[in-house]
Amino acid sequence: MTVTGERAHIECEDLVRIFTAKGVEVQALQGLNLRVDRSDLVAIVGASGSGKSTLLNILSGLDTPSAGSARVAGHDLLSMRRRERARYQRHVVGFVWQQTARNLLPYLTAAENVALPMVIARRSGRSERVDHLLDVLGVSHTKDRRPAELSGGEQQRISIAVALANEPEVILADEPTGELDEQTSGNVFEAIRHVNVELGVTVVVVTHDPLVSEHVRRTVQIRDGRTSTEVVRRSEVDEHGAEQHHVEEFAVLDRVGRLQLPDDFVRALDLRERVRLRLEQDHVGIWPDGSRRNGDDG
Amino acid sequence: MKMQLTKRHGAARILIRQAVASRGAGLVVILTALLVAGMFALWPRVEERLFTENARDAMAQSSAMMRDLVMVAAGGPPVGEQAIEAVFDSERPALTVDDVWGASQESVLEAQQDMPGLLRRVTGGPRMVAALDPVTTPSEQPHPEFVEMNTHLLADPDYAESVSFVEGTAPGFPETTAQAEPDEHGSVTKLDVTVEIALSAGVAQRYAWQIGEARTVYTPQAEVHLELTGVFEAVDPDDGYWLHVSSALEPLVALTDPGLVADAHGFISPEAIGTVWWILGGGSTQVTRVWFPIDASTLHANEVPALIAELRAFNAAAHPMLLEANHVSVPASRFATGSIDILENVRAERDSAVALTAMVVVGPAAVGLAVLALASKLVVGRRRRMIATMSARGASAGQLRAVLAVEGVLLGLVPTVAATVAAARLVDEPVGRGWWLVPIAVGLVPIAMFVGAVRPAGTTARRFAAAARLRGWVRRTTDVLVVGCAAVAVILLRRRGLDSGTDVDPLLVATPLLVMVAACIVVLRVYPLALRVLARSLEPSAGTVTFVGSVRSGRERVAAVPVLALVAGLAIAVFTSVLLTTIERGAESAAWADVGADVRASSARGFADDAVESALGFAGVDDAVAVTDAGTTDLFHGTTTTKVRVLAADTSALASVQADVPGAPPLPADLSELRDGVVPAVAGGVGAVGIVGEVVAGRHDERVPVTVVQRASGLPGLSQGEPWLLVDVSAWENTGISLERPRIVLMRTSGEVDQAALAATLNTNGPLVSPPEHVERFQNSGLAGDIRVAFMVSVAFAGLLAAASITLTLILGAPARGRLLSVLRTLGITGRQAQGLVAWEMGPVALLALLFGVGLGAAVPGLVLSGVDLRPFTGGREQPGVEFDYGLVAAAVGAFIVLVAVVVGVAATISGRLRLGEVLRVGEDGA
């Protein structure tokens, strides 16, 4: 994880999104922080209802946050006007949803589906680009077929091609492998990674799939509308020339110093309400509030 | 939209793909648009055509005498010196037709040239005929038929156009020989003139006048021999010309005291008119009839008001005709025509028909638009995903709207333009520009529905909620406004009576629509409440279907369009059947009021004394009475004078004949005897019981004392709206004043009567009339018949629309129903129960719509019929009261329900077989 002074490619700070339905307010995001560097590949994991999809909807410009700040490639998602939003969706982000029905129009062939975003963006040289993208994703043979005539994996790979049509800087994918079997799922994820590496596109993937989350360098966990922990995987070649995989778990500290402890830590020490903190030379220690426990016993 | 249209991956190709993919839904929109626009385009054109035909028929059926523009001037073409000198000097160059008539004809043509365009278009070439006083032309042998034969000499410069000689030659200029005759002062020159004449074959034969035979007329200065030189037949006996010179083809015969007297017209050479006038005494009157034949065969209904105005203006001005009477110029005079009355009648009929049909059509028209909107929803449902996907990929609202607008144009505007053009081709009638724009504008409905499906990108939930609140507010406000407007319209209409204006009254047309929409709103708002109550009361005991069905119907949004369609359709079915009954019964009572008995015979020359006896001797005639119409005369009583029509009959026979006639007053039994020398009378519209007055009657205007013993509102078949007195023939004749011959015989009949034979027996001058035939003849002529067809068409159309709206609503509700059923199936309901749920979806609302629709249809006639003049359709003098025929109403409602049920059933079967919901790709979002 790199947190540098320079602007990240995706930068969310204290992002809040409140839904109001029939007078009941649901706070889907409660001050979420996220930074993703250019050309990074990040997986976002979390239980259902944790706010993953809300975050992705905000990043794709389909939804507007209630408060906080969110910037993607220099576009401020809160202050974005209709015209800028359209430009943003056309040129800056591309996305892939779990259901192919949301990615592809059923009556268009694969090639036409890939061409559609370019038609919207009035881009020229469409045919060449369609051919190129289908080729990159290894689905050239499906060109003239309609989604109904394709396998789930092929559909998702075409969906990735659709997302890439206008050379976006960021690809957002919401459970892109959710409806696929393991084998296909692997292929599709491989395609995403390929795109990330070859084209240098920043990728954010929301997933449940451990196959995906365990194969990305950085996994961000969202809990109750906040980013709670991050797992960073590094591979280093040790002195014996063998590849070493390092997995480190981090908690996220926000600007004002708030920190969310992982669930298992809290349970293990039965941390409740108050904890003791102590600043050491190179770390911070946390203890259960002993006085309270004594009080309870007494 | 600037999407590039490249071949392989262009916008156009993608649009076409999309359109083809949802061709089922698109086809439904196209068909609905065609149907609705076709109705909007055809209706006014067909109506205009019927009005045009009606106007042309009314004009064509009227007699030329009445229709044509006629001027009758006392005088003839100028008689110059030449005309008189020609009598004495046969050496002089002959007079030509142009010498005599040229100037007059010129002046008539000038009058025509000054006519405004429309009037000039419908008038034919002018004709002029000069007629001299009749001369008696007895044959040498006593004539077997006539006691007197009169010949009117006519001169017509153009008569050669109308006659063709079958024997002999056309008459030439008179030949004169002057003879000096001795008298007490010496000698005078006595002229002996031969005037050649032409008679029609019919007249020559009836007059027993042979070619070459001369009949002599003596005048103070001449002995005039009228010599028949030519016998002709009419080139076209049906030409209106022969009505203007009425007795030229057949003599006119009148029965007088000494016997039959005949009058006929004969032609002399046209250039001889001045000469013959002088020979026949000079002082005699000459009458010239000038007329423009009116040919309405090119007249269009929309030109009628303009033509009326032009005729009025033309008739109001005096036109100089360059005619002379006794060498003095005839002052300019005016033309007159009965066309104005005919056309006014046509216009009144048209206005009433427009108002009635507008009331009947406005409902289906509104429903048609609603159904088109419903059909458009099918396509919108199919496009939602495309909108969502494209919008997420950065398509602007403008781009999406443009795409959908193009589709709307293809599915909506193109069919409506096609339908309008086709309708205009099919029924090529000039209609206002509005009737081009309105049907085409129907195509805007799909465009609006499609374009309206695009919501601006980034619409937040907060804004959604605000929009929903706004929609709720707008809806409540609209509800209140519509119901309020309907109430105000009803009150206004009730306060105001029969509208005498000529234009279609917007209030009159709008009120039924407003009331209908208000009724729908009430149904839609009351329905959920009613069902909630029903559901609550059913809860403990009801089965699954009843419970789920009633709860669901009460809580889900009710489909408004089928409710509107059903209420409108049923209201129209009931309204039209009430209207038809009202018109039919109105026509019937008008017919009885006109005819006055089971059978009525009339004779212009009067019935023989034994007419009643011979009628009574005829099989099937139970009773008969002869009625003398003594005409309108003055009634004096006290210091006032009133014009009254005096009718005389054997009153006891009249009472018996009219015993079963609706509207006939009971007559007192003792009308046949004088009361102290005074004639007892029944009076209508004049006097009071007990008053004694005198009426002027008889040859020498004697005064006959009468007393009113009873009053009545009218005498069927006899009184015609103006004040009248009915007296008994024997009481009247006891005063010593004789009556003219009766011209009317009324008969009470039973069973079949051979009317033709009866007419022959009575020697009537036309067919007999009886009320049913009268009604039939009336209803099959003109607009009354067309109205009936129009009503049936609109009820059928309303039925189709209702069926279409129900089917579409069921299809649109398929996804939600499918979800519900799949939940219920897992709980174990049967297929039959599932069908029951579908029935619950439309059943209760249809039932409520039935109640409201029928109620509305029954209430509206009383409300609006007072505002429409129905007299043109009944032929009566009085506006008929609203009449219900419950059998007919039930039949109309039943037919409507059957039609809707059959169409929905067929559609359901087809959709079940084709899985129509899938063909139309409804609710594809879940696919």
Say if B17 is an interface residue toward chain A (CB within 8 Å): yes
How far B405 CA sits from the closest chain A CA (Å)? 16
- Give residue B415's pLDDT: 93
Answer whether A148 touches B (CB < 8 Å).
Answer: no
Asked if pLDDT for residue B5 goes beyond 50, the answer is no
**Residue B118: is its pLDDT beyond 80?**
yes
* A296 pLDDT more than 60: no
- pLDDT band, residue A171 (cuts 50/70/90): very high
Each residue's pLDDT tens digit, B240-282: 888 888 788 888 877 666 778 888 999 999 988 888 888 887 6
Answer yes or no: do A107 and B21 touch at CB < 8 A.
yes
Kindly state whether A106 is in contact with chain B, defined as any CB-CB distance less than 8 angstroms: yes
Ranges A64-68, B137-141, B512-516: which has the least confidence? B137-141
Q: How far apart are CA B487 and CA A93, in angstroms?
A: 58
Using the beta-carbon criterion (under 8 Å), do A91 and B394 form an inter-chain contact?
yes
Helix (H) or strand (E) segment spanning residue A189: helix A182-199
pLDDT at B773: 75
Report whether pLDDT(B460) > 60.
no
Question: Can you give the pLDDT at residue B230?
Answer: 93
What per-residue confidence (pLDDT) applies to B228? Answer: 93
Burial class (CB in 10 A: 0-12, 13-18, 19+), B414: middle
3-state SS of A143-170 is CCCCHHHCCHHHHHHHHHHHHHCCCCCE
Six-digit token pair at B407?
Answer: 């589709």
Per-residue pLDDT tens over the stretch B681-692: 888 877 677 777
**A116/B390 touch (CB, cutoff 8 Å), yes or no:** yes
pLDDT at A297 over 50: no
Structure tokens at B121: 């278009």
The residues, any chain, with a CB within 8 Å of residue B752's CB and separated by 6 or more, are B620
Which of A101, A116, A121 minimises the CB distance to B927?
A: A101
Sign of CA dihedral B783, B786, B788, B791: negative
- pLDDT of residue B915 exceeding 60, the answer is no
Q: State how far the Cα of B262 lies from the Cα of B252, in Å rounded to an integer.
A: 5
- Collapse the DSSP code of B246 into the 3-class scheme (helix H, G, I; strand E, B; otherwise coil) and give the result: helix
Look at residue B777 in the predicted model and tell me its pLDDT: 67
Q: Which amino acid is at A174?
A: D
Query: Crossing angle of helices A126-136/A182-199, nearest 10°?
Result: 120
pLDDT band at A295 (very low <50, low <70, confident <90, very high): very low
CB contact under 8 Å between A20 and B461, yes or no, is yes
Cα–Cα dist B444/B448, whole Å: 6
Distance in Å, alpha carbon of B467 to nearest chain A alpha carbon:
13
List of chain A residues whose C-beta atoms are within 8 Å of the C-beta of residue B10? 119
What are the DSSP E strand ranges found in A54-106? Answer: 67-72, 75-76, 93-96
Tens digits of per-residue pLDDT, B727-785? Answer: 888 888 888 777 777 888 888 888 788 888 888 877 776 777 887 777 776 666 667 77
Band (pLDDT 50/70/90 cuts) for residue B672 is confident
| Whether B394 and A117 lie within 8 Å, measured CB to CB | yes
Mean pLDDT, range A99-126, rounded to an integer: 85
CA distance A129 to B541: 67
Strand partners, B214: B227
Dmax over Cα atoms in chain A, in whole Å? 79
Q: Name which of B290, B293, B297 is nearest B236 in CA terms.
A: B293
> How many Cβ atoms from other residues are within 10 Å of residue B698's Cβ?
16
Of B390, B460, B925, the CB nearest to A120: B390
The answer to whether residue B294 scores a pLDDT higher than 60 is: yes
pLDDT in tens, B828-866: 777 777 777 777 777 777 888 888 889 888 888 887 777
CA distance B333 to B520: 62
A-contacting residues in B 60-119 (Cβ below 8 Å) = none
Among B260-269, B360-369, B508-517, B867-876, the least confident range: B867-876
**A264 touches A244 (CB < 8 A):** no
How confident is the model over B419-446, as pLDDT tens digits? 999 998 988 887 878 888 888 888 999 9
Q: Does A117 touch chain B (CB under 8 A)?
A: yes
Measured in degrees and rounded to the nearest 5, phi and psi for residue B571 equal: -60, -40
| Model confidence at B916: pLDDT above 60 | no
- pLDDT bin (cut points 50, 70, 90) of residue B201 is very high
pLDDT of residue B180: 60
What's the distance, Cα to Cα, between the start and end of chain A in Å?
Answer: 46
**Does residue B129 contact residue B270 with C-beta atoms inside 8 Å?**
no
Minimal CA separation from A264 to chain B, in Å = 36
Q: Does A189 touch chain B (CB under 8 A)?
A: no
Quote the percentage of chain B above a pLDDT of 70. 90
For B529, other C-beta atoms within 10 Å of its C-beta total 10
Between residues B2 and B871, the one the model is more confident about: B871
Check residue B336 and report its DSSP letter. Answer: B
State whether A112 and B17 contact (CB < 8 Å): yes
Express each pLDDT in B845-854 by its tens digit. Answer: 788 888 888 9
Query: What integer is the mean pLDDT of B82-101?
Result: 76
pLDDT of residue B567: 87
Q: CA B612 to CA A13: how far, in whole Å? A: 115
| Upper half-sphere CA count for residue B730 (Cβ side, 13 Å) | 8
> Between vectors from CA B278 to CA B273 and to CA B280, what angle results, nearest 5°?
95
pLDDT digits (tens, 9 = 90+) for B539-550: 666 677 777 777
- Contact between chains at A116 and B18 (C-beta distance less than 8 A): no
ipTM of the complex: 0.80
Residue (of A225, A223, A219) closest to A204 by Cα position: A219
**pLDDT-derived band at A152, boundaries 50, 70, 90:** confident
* Contact criterion met (CB below 8 Å) for A13 and A29: no
Whole-number mean pLDDT of chain B? Answer: 82
Residue B392 has its nearest CB partner, among A60, A107, A124, at: A60
The rounded Cα B902 to chain-centroid distance in angstroms is 35
Interface test with B, best of A91, A95, A112, A119 (most B CBs within 10 A): A119
HSE-CB at A35 with a 13 A cutoff on CA atoms is 14
CA distances from B546 to B308, B538, B710 (A): 66, 8, 69
Residue predicted with more confidence, B455 or B392 = B392
Comparing B425 with B494, the larger pLDDT belongs to B425
- CA–CA separation, A62 and A76 (whole Å): 14
Q: Which member of B9, B456, B458 has the closest CB to residue A119?
A: B9
pLDDT digits 0-9 by tens, B629-671:
877 888 887 788 888 888 888 888 888 888 888 878 888 888 8
Q: Does B390 touch chain A (CB under 8 A)?
A: yes
For residue A87, which residues of chain B lie inside 8 Å, CB to CB?
394
pLDDT of res. B188? 64
Buried/exposed code over B818-830 (b: 16+ C-beta within 10 A; e: otherwise): eebbeebeeeebe
Q: Does B21 touch chain A (CB under 8 A)?
A: yes
Question: Are A102 and B396 a contacting pair at CB < 8 A?
Answer: no
Contact: A86, B385; criterion CB under 8 Å: no
Retrieve residue B316's tokens.
Answer: 């109001």
Q: How far is CA B366 from CA B156, B378, B564, in A?
A: 61, 19, 9
CB contacts of B2 in chain A (<8 Å) are 122
CB contact under 8 A, B397 and A88: no
Q: Where are the beta strands (DSSP E) in B6-117?
A: 69-74
Q: What is the pLDDT of residues B139-165, one digit of tens each?
A: 777 888 888 889 999 999 999 999 999
Residue with tokens 């067929």, as numbered in its chain = B906
Tokens of A217: 């360098």
Q: What is the pLDDT of residue B923?
A: 46
* CB within 8 Å of B833: residues ≥ 6 apart: B544, B545, B824
Chain A interface includes B1 (CB < 8 A): no
User: Number of CB pairs < 8 Å for A and B?
Assistant: 101
Interchain CB distance below 8 Å, A90 and B9: no
Mutating which of A95, A107, A143, A172 best tests the B interface, going by the most B Cβ atoms within 10 A?
A: A107
What are the structural domains, with CATH classification, of chain A?
38-65+73-229 (3.40.50.300), 263-298 (no CATH)
Residue B527: Cβ within 10 Å count: 19
Contact (CB, 8 A) for B241 and B93: no
Contacts of B438 (CB under 8 A, 6+ apart): B40
Q: Which of A31-35, B483-487, B693-697, B868-872 ranks highest by mean pLDDT?
A: B483-487
Instruction: Tell me the one-letter amino acid at B144.
Output: P
Confidence of residue B1 (pLDDT cuts 50, 70, 90): very low
Distance in Å, alpha carbon of A126 to nearest chain B alpha carbon: 7
CA distance B287 to B130: 6
C-alpha closest to that of B363 among B565, B504, B558: B565
pLDDT tens-digit readout, A216-268: 888 888 888 777 778 888 777 777 777 777 788 888 777 777 777 877 888 88
Helices A152-164 and A110-121, packing angle to 10 deg: 20
Mean pLDDT across the stretch A136-164?
A: 88
- Distance between B21 CA and the closest CA of chain A, angstroms: 6
The pLDDT assigned to B4 comes to 43
Q: Which residues of B touch A102 (CB under 8 A)?
A: 385, 388-389, 392
Residue of A nearest to B399 (CA): A120
CA closest to B8 among chain A residues: A127
The whole-number pLDDT of residue B641 equals 82
Selection from B458, B694, B269 nearest residue A89 by Cα: B458
Q: What is the pLDDT of residues B222-236, one digit of tens each?
A: 788 899 999 999 999
Min mean pLDDT across B23-37, B544-558, B659-673, B787-801 is at B544-558
The chain B residue lying nearest A58, using CA atoms, is: B458
Chain A contact for B19 (CB, 8 A cutoff): no
CA distance B474 to chain A (A): 19
Question: End-to-end alpha-carbon separation of chain B, Å?
Answer: 30
Residue B461: which of A19, A102, A108 has the nearest Cβ?
A19
* Burial zone of B312 (CB within 10 Å; 0-12 exposed, 13-18 middle, 19+ buried): exposed
The helix (H) or strand (E) run that includes residue A198 is: helix A182-199
Q: Do A122 and B461 touch (CB under 8 A)?
A: no
- For residue B684, report the phi and psi dihedrals to the nearest 5 degrees: -130, 130
Question: In the predicted model, what is the mean pLDDT of residues B83-111?
Answer: 80
Q: Give me the mean pLDDT over the B550-561 stretch.
A: 74
Of B13, B394, B460, Cβ closest to residue A86: B394
- Can you list the positions of beta strands (E) in B739-873? 744-749
Taking the Cβ of residue A112 and every Cβ of chain B, the question of whether any pair is shorter than 8 Å is answered with: yes
Q: For B606-635, what is each residue's pLDDT tens digit?
A: 787 788 888 888 888 888 898 888 778 888
Cβ within 8 Å, pair A120-B395 = yes
Tokens of B92: 């002089």
At B262, the amino acid letter reads A
Cβ-Cβ contacts under 8 Å, A86 against chain B = 394-396, 457
Please give the residue of chain A at the shortest CA–CA distance from B465.
A21
Q: Which of A59-73, A176-190, B98-112 has the lowest mean pLDDT?
A: A176-190
**A102 to chain B: nearest residue by CA?**
B389
CB atoms < 10 A from the CB of B459, how many?
11
Q: What crossing angle do the helices spanning B506-538 and B339-392 adopt, rounded to 10°? A: 50
The Cα B677–Cα B732 span in angstroms is 10
Q: Which helix (H) or strand (E) holds A17?
A: strand A10-21
pLDDT value at position B179?
A: 64
Backbone angles phi, psi at B565, to 5 degrees: -65, -40
